[in-house]
Protein backbone atom coordinates (compact mmCIF):
# COMPACT_ATOMS: atom_id res chain seq x y z
CA UNK A 1 0.00 0.00 0.00
CA UNK A 2 1.45 3.39 -1.01
CA UNK A 3 -0.48 5.41 1.52
CA UNK A 4 -1.73 4.96 5.03
CA UNK A 5 -5.33 5.63 5.95
CA UNK A 6 -5.70 8.65 8.20
CA UNK A 7 -6.24 7.79 11.84
CA UNK A 8 -9.57 8.99 13.10
CA UNK A 9 -9.99 10.73 16.42
CA UNK A 10 -11.91 8.34 18.62
CA UNK A 11 -14.23 8.98 21.52
CA UNK A 12 -15.46 6.20 23.78
CA UNK A 13 -19.18 5.47 23.75
CA UNK A 14 -19.68 4.44 27.39
CA UNK A 15 -23.14 2.98 26.78
CA UNK A 16 -22.01 0.57 24.08
CA UNK A 17 -18.39 0.19 25.26
CA UNK A 18 -17.21 0.89 21.72
CA UNK A 19 -15.06 3.54 20.12
CA UNK A 20 -16.51 5.52 17.28
CA UNK A 21 -15.49 8.42 15.07
CA UNK A 22 -16.43 11.79 16.54
CA UNK A 23 -16.66 14.89 14.40
CA UNK A 24 -17.61 17.94 16.43
CA UNK A 25 -18.82 20.20 13.61
CA UNK A 26 -17.65 22.88 11.24
CA UNK A 27 -17.80 26.07 13.23
CA UNK A 28 -17.84 27.58 16.71
CA UNK A 29 -19.63 30.55 18.21
CA UNK A 30 -18.04 33.64 19.76
CA UNK A 31 -17.32 31.85 23.05
CA UNK A 32 -15.97 28.66 21.46
CA UNK A 33 -18.96 26.31 21.57
CA UNK A 34 -19.58 24.13 18.53
CA UNK A 35 -22.29 25.61 16.31
CA UNK A 36 -23.50 24.37 12.91
CA UNK A 37 -25.97 27.15 12.14
CA UNK A 38 -25.33 28.60 8.63
CA UNK A 39 -25.91 32.17 9.84
CA UNK A 40 -23.23 31.70 12.49
CA UNK A 41 -20.87 30.31 9.84
CA UNK A 42 -21.30 33.47 7.75
CA UNK A 43 -20.78 35.65 10.82
CA UNK A 44 -17.58 33.85 11.88
CA UNK A 45 -16.08 33.75 8.36
CA UNK A 46 -16.77 37.48 7.96
CA UNK A 47 -15.04 38.07 11.29
CA UNK A 48 -11.95 36.11 10.14
CA UNK A 49 -11.73 37.90 6.81
CA UNK A 50 -12.03 41.27 8.55
CA UNK A 51 -9.08 40.28 10.74
CA UNK A 52 -7.01 39.55 7.61
CA UNK A 53 -7.92 42.91 6.08
CA UNK A 54 -7.00 44.67 9.32
CA UNK A 55 -3.68 42.80 9.47
CA UNK A 56 -2.92 43.80 5.87
CA UNK A 57 -3.28 47.48 6.82
CA UNK A 58 -1.70 47.35 10.28
CA UNK A 59 1.42 45.27 9.61
CA UNK A 60 4.28 47.58 8.55
CA UNK A 61 5.65 47.10 5.01
CA UNK A 62 9.12 46.18 6.31
CA UNK A 63 7.60 43.16 8.06
CA UNK A 64 5.90 41.95 4.87
CA UNK A 65 8.98 41.85 2.64
CA UNK A 66 12.63 42.90 2.34
CA UNK A 67 14.17 44.33 -0.81
CA UNK A 68 17.93 44.26 -1.31
CA UNK A 69 19.53 46.21 -4.18
CA UNK A 70 22.92 45.83 -5.73
CA UNK A 71 25.30 48.74 -6.05
CA UNK A 72 24.67 48.83 -9.79
CA UNK A 73 22.13 51.43 -10.90
CA UNK A 74 19.98 49.06 -13.01
CA UNK A 75 19.58 45.43 -11.93
CA UNK A 76 20.11 42.74 -14.55
CA UNK A 77 18.29 40.12 -12.51
CA UNK A 78 15.72 40.10 -9.68
CA UNK A 79 15.84 37.14 -7.32
CA UNK A 80 12.67 36.22 -5.41
CA UNK A 81 12.56 33.91 -2.42
CA UNK A 82 11.37 33.37 1.14
CA UNK A 83 12.60 31.67 4.28
CA UNK A 84 16.02 30.18 4.93
CA UNK A 85 17.46 30.94 1.48
CA UNK A 86 18.14 34.58 2.42
CA UNK A 87 21.74 34.14 3.66
CA UNK A 88 23.07 32.17 0.69
CA UNK A 89 21.23 34.46 -1.75
CA UNK A 90 22.84 37.58 -0.25
CA UNK A 91 26.26 35.89 -0.48
CA UNK A 92 25.61 34.84 -4.10
CA UNK A 93 24.54 38.42 -4.89
CA UNK A 94 27.98 39.67 -3.81
CA UNK A 95 29.64 37.06 -6.03
CA UNK A 96 27.52 38.11 -9.02
CA UNK A 97 28.18 41.81 -8.39
CA UNK A 98 31.94 41.17 -8.53
CA UNK A 99 31.35 40.09 -12.13
CA UNK A 100 29.43 43.28 -12.88
CA UNK A 101 25.98 41.69 -12.75
CA UNK A 102 23.40 43.94 -11.07
CA UNK A 103 21.18 41.95 -8.72
CA UNK A 104 18.07 42.70 -6.65
CA UNK A 105 16.56 40.36 -4.09
CA UNK A 106 12.90 40.41 -3.06
CA UNK A 107 12.46 38.37 0.12
CA UNK A 108 8.81 37.62 0.89
CA UNK A 109 8.34 37.59 4.66
CA UNK A 110 4.56 37.32 4.93
CA UNK A 111 2.40 34.88 2.98
CA UNK A 112 -0.96 35.86 4.43
CA UNK A 113 -2.07 38.54 4.08
CA UNK A 114 0.13 38.65 1.01
CA UNK A 115 1.78 42.03 0.16
CA UNK A 116 0.28 41.99 -3.35
CA UNK A 117 0.77 45.61 -4.40
CA UNK A 118 4.34 45.84 -3.09
CA UNK A 119 5.39 42.60 -4.79
CA UNK A 120 3.70 43.62 -8.05
CA UNK A 121 5.49 46.99 -7.94
CA UNK A 122 8.92 45.42 -7.29
CA UNK A 123 8.53 42.78 -10.03
CA UNK A 124 6.91 45.00 -12.66
CA UNK A 125 10.22 46.55 -13.70
CA UNK A 126 12.34 43.41 -13.43
CA UNK A 127 14.43 42.64 -16.52
CA UNK A 128 14.76 38.98 -15.54
CA UNK A 129 13.08 37.44 -12.47
CA UNK A 130 14.28 34.18 -10.92
CA UNK A 131 12.40 32.34 -8.16
CA UNK A 132 14.65 30.48 -5.69
CA UNK A 133 13.00 27.96 -3.37
CA UNK A 134 13.66 24.92 -1.19
CA UNK A 135 10.78 22.87 -2.61
CA UNK A 136 9.95 20.94 -5.78
CA UNK A 137 7.47 23.21 -7.51
CA UNK A 138 8.31 26.78 -6.54
CA UNK A 139 5.31 27.28 -4.26
CA UNK A 140 5.87 30.99 -3.61
CA UNK A 141 6.11 31.63 -7.36
CA UNK A 142 2.65 30.09 -7.66
CA UNK A 143 1.33 32.37 -4.91
CA UNK A 144 2.92 35.38 -6.62
CA UNK A 145 1.31 34.41 -9.94
CA UNK A 146 -2.08 33.98 -8.25
CA UNK A 147 -1.94 37.27 -6.37
CA UNK A 148 -0.14 39.56 -8.85
CA UNK A 149 -0.70 37.91 -12.25
CA UNK A 150 3.10 37.97 -12.74
CA UNK A 151 4.51 34.60 -13.79
CA UNK A 152 8.09 33.94 -12.74
CA UNK A 153 9.05 31.28 -15.25
CA UNK A 154 12.72 30.90 -14.25
CA UNK A 155 13.22 28.83 -11.12
CA UNK A 156 16.08 27.51 -9.05
CA UNK A 157 14.84 24.75 -6.73
CA UNK A 158 16.35 22.31 -4.30
CA UNK A 159 14.34 19.59 -2.59
CA UNK A 160 16.81 16.96 -1.40
CA UNK A 161 16.57 18.06 2.22
CA UNK A 162 19.89 19.90 2.22
CA UNK A 163 20.21 23.69 2.48
CA UNK A 164 21.22 25.76 -0.54
CA UNK A 165 24.73 27.13 -0.73
CA UNK A 166 25.85 30.45 -2.18
CA UNK A 167 27.90 28.61 -4.83
CA UNK A 168 24.87 26.62 -6.00
CA UNK A 169 22.73 29.74 -6.24
CA UNK A 170 25.52 31.59 -8.05
CA UNK A 171 25.87 28.77 -10.60
CA UNK A 172 22.09 28.48 -11.03
CA UNK A 173 21.71 32.20 -11.69
CA UNK A 174 24.61 32.09 -14.17
CA UNK A 175 22.92 29.19 -16.02
CA UNK A 176 19.70 31.15 -16.38
CA UNK A 177 21.46 34.40 -17.34
CA UNK A 178 23.40 32.57 -20.07
CA UNK A 179 20.16 32.13 -22.05
CA UNK A 180 17.48 34.45 -20.62
CA UNK A 181 15.03 33.91 -23.49
CA UNK A 182 14.63 30.26 -22.53
CA UNK A 183 12.53 29.60 -19.43
CA UNK A 184 14.52 27.42 -17.12
CA UNK A 185 14.11 25.27 -14.06
CA UNK A 186 17.47 24.57 -12.44
CA UNK A 187 17.42 21.75 -9.89
CA UNK A 188 20.20 21.91 -7.30
CA UNK A 189 21.46 18.59 -5.94
CA UNK A 190 24.66 19.38 -4.04
CA UNK A 191 24.93 17.64 -0.69
CA UNK A 192 22.79 14.67 -1.70
Those residues whose C-beta lies under 8 Å from the C-beta of residue 141, and which sit 6 or more positions away, are 80, 131, 133, 151, 152, 155
Residue 138 and residue 42: Cα distance in Å, rounded? 34
Q: Tell me the three state secondary structure of residue 102.
A: coil
Q: Give, in degrees to the nearest 5, the angle at Cα 180 between 178 and 182.
A: 105
Domains of the chain plus CATH, in order, are: 24-58 (no CATH), 61-187 (3.40.50.920)
Give just the sign of the alpha carbon dihedral 169, 143, 154, 103: negative
Query: 10-residue block means of pLDDT along the chain (192 residues)?
Result: 55 57 69 84 90 91 92 90 97 96 96 94 95 97 97 97 97 93 90 67
Q: What is the pLDDT of residue 21?
A: 58
Do residues 108 and 81 make contact, with C-beta atoms less than 8 angstroms apart?
Answer: yes
Amino acid sequence: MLWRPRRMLLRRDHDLQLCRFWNSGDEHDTIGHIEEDPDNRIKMMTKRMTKLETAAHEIPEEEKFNFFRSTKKQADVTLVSWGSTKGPILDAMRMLEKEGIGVEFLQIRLASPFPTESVREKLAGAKLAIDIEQNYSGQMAAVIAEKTMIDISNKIVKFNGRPMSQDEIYEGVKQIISNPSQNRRVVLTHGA
